[in-house]
Structure 1
Amino acid sequence: MTESRTTTFTNPRNYTFPSHRLRRTLHDSTGTKQPIVLVACGSFNPITNNHLRMYEIANDFVRENTDFEIVGAYLSPVSDEYGKPGLVSAHHRVNMCSLAIEQESSWLMVDPWEAFQNYQRTAAVLDHFDYELNMVLGGVSTPDGEHRDVRIMLLAGSDLINTMSEPGVWSHDDLDRILGRRYGTIVIEREGYNVAQATGNLSLWQNNIYTIPQLIQNDGSSTKVRLLFRRGLSVQSSLLPAVIEYIEQNNLYGWQVGSGEEGQG
């Protein structure tokens, strides 16, 4: 039985769903590939090279190990109401994400829907993408013109999947919606998190959880990048030049690189 789709969403003012890099026709001519769109929800505070690397790792994995075909990928920064300490405004985080992908990627997009309104649960964010891609845009087509719905898949680090495995952190209904047959997740391993244990606790949905080992460990997290900024240390290996320049110009994270003194934010 096909699940009904939610068709009512509150959009931010002057919002338009970004689809300029969405591929509307599958490359696959065999008719066996399922079109998917990757969505990563997060603070992106700031967006790092590791965030971008996640998409490339997922792209390689999908191409070599699955019957999926990626037709698009999105970054969805969280709302200011997420309330995380040290979270700079959604305006700045969306701008940094946009600068990063315009400079470094030809296929990623930033969707500001989640960022510029009240806090949204991850399940609701995926429902929004499902609605925009399949009900508004009508999905995608095969090379011979056959219609295909796009499957939305959450792209996440193993830190997120660990929280999903902890009792009481996520509701069962949301987990079933995110990890069930409708969506699913691709998990990139991160050092310090036991992915096998986490996915073991989520065995009900194990067929929709795709785990990718990270062959080259790099712990350049946003938290550590903010710490480097506060100490006036180099972040050149962790952030793109356009993002560093934006942070300097707007004096974010309490430090202006090269100023020689620590700020007060």
Structure 2
Amino acid sequence: MESQHPTKVVLLSCGSFNPVTNMHLRMFEMARDYLEDMGPYKVVKGIISPVGDGYKKKGLIEARHRVQMAQLAIEDSDWITVDPWESEQPKWTETVKVARHHCREQVAVGQNKELQRRRKSAKKEQSPRLMLLCGADVLDSFETPNLWKEEDVAEILGLYGVVCISRHETDAEEVIHKSDALWRHRKNIHVVRQWVTNEISATRVRRALRRGQSVRYLTPDPVVRYIQENNLYTAESEQKNADVDLEPLQRNMDVSSS
């Protein structure tokens, strides 16, 4: 009997990356290990997609800096990439639209490869499956009123699937159990438990930087140097967007009230 060929997977991580940390990078490695160990999967690519400035999160510095730092962070990786498409959009772009974009990109790449291989083999190559990579806090945020549209959550969970990295402060299994929307798609949510715990967060990194403390070994050295050279993350930068609601909250509240 012929052995089953693994499904190729592309992991997409959308977020602020403000700044990118070693934990962000570890999430990709943990997700790949989990998928390839637990199921018929072969993770072929990871994509870091920094959010655009239009997201209006408190303390969010310019996208050009966040993209550059992410690119510096993955210089030594042979499978994680940084894609600036989301950050370059003139307005904040919903995660589901980012997923659709990258799904189309993977289909296009697959079609090009298929054309190149037709003369060599009659076997058709499937396009990779896209999965969203996130922390348990993002999974929990699916239930925050007006932060996500119900139809977007249903599409992300139902069509793409999620690989969720557990965090100490958020129990992913409990989050799924409490939510009817998440429970319906529980078979499409892969929860990865951290056995070697790592609680580095961008918020804590920014706090240390504001206080003049070292952040070495919390984020890659090239990122530390970039932050120092560009004098990023100060008390002033942390107040950016302080009096502004997140763009998804503004947009979705406007829709719900109309």
TM-score range, shorter chain: 0.7 to 0.9
In the alignment, what sits opposite 2:103? 130
Per-residue CA shift, 1:4-46, capped at 9, x if unaligned? xxxxxxxxxxxxxxxxxxxxxxxxx944311110000000000
1:188 to 155, 159, 165: 165
Matching residue's letter, 1:169 = L
Q: Secondary structure at the match of 1:154?
A: strand
Residues 132 and 42 of structure 1, relative CA distance in 2, 3 Å threshold = same
- 1:116 alignment partner in structure 2: 88
Q: Does structure 1 residue 238 correspond to structure 2 residue 215?
A: no
Question: C-alpha distance in 2, partners of 1:167/1:91?
Answer: 30
Residue correspondence of structure 1 range 155-166 to structure 2 within 5 A: 155-166=133-144
Counterpart contact for 1:80–1:119, Cα < 8 Å: yes
1:166-207 C-alpha deviation (Å, 9 max, x unpaired):
455322210111000x20000000111121121121111011
In 2, Cα distance between equivalents of 1:120 and 1:139: 27
The counterpart of 2:203, out of the listed 212, 220, 223, is 223
Counterpart in 2 of 1:260?
Answer: none
Please report the RMSD computed on the Cα atoms of aligned residues, expressed in angstroms: 2.0
Structure 1 segments, 4+ long, off by >4 Å, are: 139-144
Comparing both structures, which one devotes a greater share of its residues to helix? Answer: 2
Does 1:199 pair with 2:171? no
Q: 1:74 is matched by which residue type in structure 2?
A: I
- Which SS does the other structure have where 2:31 is aligned? helix
Cα distance in 2 between the residues matched to 1:216 and 1:33:
27
Q: How many residues align?
A: 227
Is 1:249 matched up with 2:229?
yes
Report whether the alignment pairs 1:179 with 2:151: no
Q: Distance in 1 between matches of 2:147 and 2:155?
A: 15
In the aligned structure 1, how far is the partner of 2:112 from the partner of 2:125? 7
Contact 2:110 2:125 in 1 (8 A): no
The CA deviation string for residues 86-116 of structure 1, in whole angstroms up to 9 with x for no partner, is 11100000000001101x3111100100001
Matched, 1:91 2:91: no
The AA in structure 2 aligned to 1:46 is: P
Match of 2:124 in 1: 146
Show the counterpart of 2:51: 78
Residues 39-58 of structure 1 deviation map (CA, whole Å, 9 limit, x = unaligned)? 00000000000000001101
Letter in 1 for 2:124: E
| 2:63 counterpart letter in structure 1 | A
> Larger RCO: Structure 1 or Structure 2 (Cα < 8 Å, ≥ 6 residues apart)?
2
Q: Is the 8 A contact 2:110 2:126 kept in 1?
A: no
Deviations 1:131-164 (A, max 9, x none): 1110354276699642202211000000000011
Asked if the contact 2:141/2:147 (under 8 Å) is kept, the reply is yes
Contact 2:110 2:127 (C-alpha < 8 Å) held by counterparts = no
SS at match of 1:138: helix
TM, length-normalised to structure 1: 0.81
Structure 1 stretches of 5 or more lacking a match? Answer: 1-28, 255-262
- Matches of 1:137 and 1:67 in 2, distance apart? 19
Q: Secondary structure at the match of 1:41?
A: strand
Match of 1:57 in 2: 30
Tell me the distance in 1 between the aligned counterparts of 2:3 and 2:230: 50
